[in-house]
Structure 1
């Protein structure tokens, strides 16, 4: 199987486990890089992974209490 190098907006939202509205908010806020090919908006897999890795961690101290 060949790994994907880019996703449509719908595919990226599904891969990230978030809604389309939230994904578009992240793009508008420039926290997630999107690229254009004609009318299509594409999200590179590396950019999607970098965005996910940049999200804040859950505070482990709250879980221990």
Structure 2
């Protein structure tokens, strides 16, 4: 199966997908290079750091959005009859979640959430470029996680 390479442009955003595609390409280059391509290790390490930084940033933003939403929900009073923004749906009422929102709601890292979708342990769907997870699929995934062995806990 051919690898899907995201569209990369000089003025486009540098996303995790773009960085991972670059890492894949670099792995191919290193495999073909003399002496295993050790000369490319600094580039490899830089790409890995950039990917981890992007993932951490996404995870932090998702947690911040959940906390901000919780804060808004808690501070709302009966006097506040102002209508919410037209497309605003509280996180608890959403029909679908992003991997970052699923991470924030479950307390499981966004990388682990994405890996679970790749393995098929967590059902996810695609809508265009967006990955969506249904709340019931997230709950089923969490319920299916192994129980703690009380004798070793």
**What band does the TM-score fall into relative to the shorter chain?**
0.7 to 0.9
Partners of 1:62 and 1:22 in 2: CA distance: 24
Structure showing greater radius of gyration is: 2
Q: Structure 2 length as normaliser, TM-score?
A: 0.38
Q: For residue 44 of structure 1, what is the aligned residue in structure 2? A: 134
Partner of 2:63: none
Q: Number of paired residues? A: 63
Partners of 2:98 and 2:132 in 1: CA distance: 5
Unaligned runs of at least 5 residues, structure 1 = none
- Cα deviation for residue 20 of structure 1 reads 1.3
Identify the structure with the greater helix proportion: 2
Runs of 4+ that moved beyond 6 A: none
Q: How large is the Cα RMSD of the aligned pairs?
A: 1.5
1:1-12 to structure 2, matched below 5 A, reads 3-12=93-102
Give ranges in structure 2 of 5+ residues lacking alignment. Answer: 1-89
